[in-house]
Amino acid sequence: MPDLTHRTIAANGITIHIAEQGQGPLVLLLHGFPELWYSWRHQLPALAGAGYHAVAPDVRGYGRTDAPQAIESYTMLNLVGDAVGVLDALGVERAVVVGHDWGAPIAWHCALLHPDRFSAVIALSVPYMPRSQTAPIQAFRQAFGDNFFYILHFQQPGVAEAELEADVRKSMRVALYAWSGEAPKGTAGTPKPKSAGLLERMPEPEGLPPWLTEADLDYYAGEFERTGFRGGLNRYRNMDRDWEQLAHLAGAEVRQPALFIAGDRDPVLGFTRTDAMKTHVPNLRKVVMLPGCGHWTQQERPSEVNQELIELLTTLEF
């Protein structure tokens, strides 16, 4: 089996770093916040071993991929354009797209906007949610009022950056623990006023979760110490802009074969709805809920995730 390799490619007007392994039909792996291509470190060799060309980019704004300064450079249309650009740069007509956290909405929109390029979609953590009647940030402000909600905390440029970048290794250690299945229930959603910081009242773990090594933490910390968090945070600052730009997708259905995987202790499921997939993803093959798993799905439960990915992939025509 070929070894994992790295390179940069020109795509959609920027330079994108990709990690890749294997040969065969293309499986594109899109990470979320605050992650990197590295969050797919367990899936790349597994997919390669099963006969696929697995490609995990650093998403725009992360790692060794370009990070444009303008906030509006991080719209959903730009990120979907990056994914299509990767396919073009690799000379591939069609691929299966897999996404976790923010990578999941990107994956869903790849399927919606370019059904000719993406033959199936696999989403981890974030289900498909149709366009809401109210702009997202307005809806969150109405729902949370004077209470803290991390997406609202991320809206003001510079605020979350300063907090997270003050001690990057500690920030990553606390966040990866608090949103994992190992943290006490409710840790990530501890009530606090909207003026609080993201990490405020989040406990610093005595040790790392069993799925995270010191070497893993070293890699994450090293990359974010170099780049900062602005690129990743800018994705959250485009949610209302996306809502306006993608108005034509109101009521749209994802018709490709689809798979949804999440942990039953994932805090994201506390403010998202999975029931909409019953009607808006008519070819949803399976919903997998992993017991005891938190938000970092493919890192916390790599063997189960790999099994589900390969099981679906073997049924598809690319």
Q: Which residues are catalytic?
A: 101, 295
DSSP state, residue 295 = S
* 199 Cβ contact list (under 8 Å, min separation 6): 163, 164, 171, 174, 175
Within the chain, residue ranges assigned H as helices are 43-49, 76-90, 103-113, 136-144, 150-153, 159-165, 168-178, 214-227, 230-236, 239-245, 277-280, 297-300, 302-313
Task: Tell me how crowded residue 86 is: count the other CB atoms within 10 A of its CB.
Answer: 22
Coil/strand/helix, residue 21: strand
C-alpha to C-alpha distance for 159 and 157, rounded to whole angstroms: 6
DSSP 44-101: HHHHHHTT-EEEEEPPTTSTTS---S-GGGG-HHHHHHHHHHHHHHHT-S-EEEEEET
- CA dist 106 and 62 (Å) reads 15
The pairing of beta strand 53-57 with beta strand 26-30: parallel
- Separation CA 103–CA 32 (nearest Å): 5
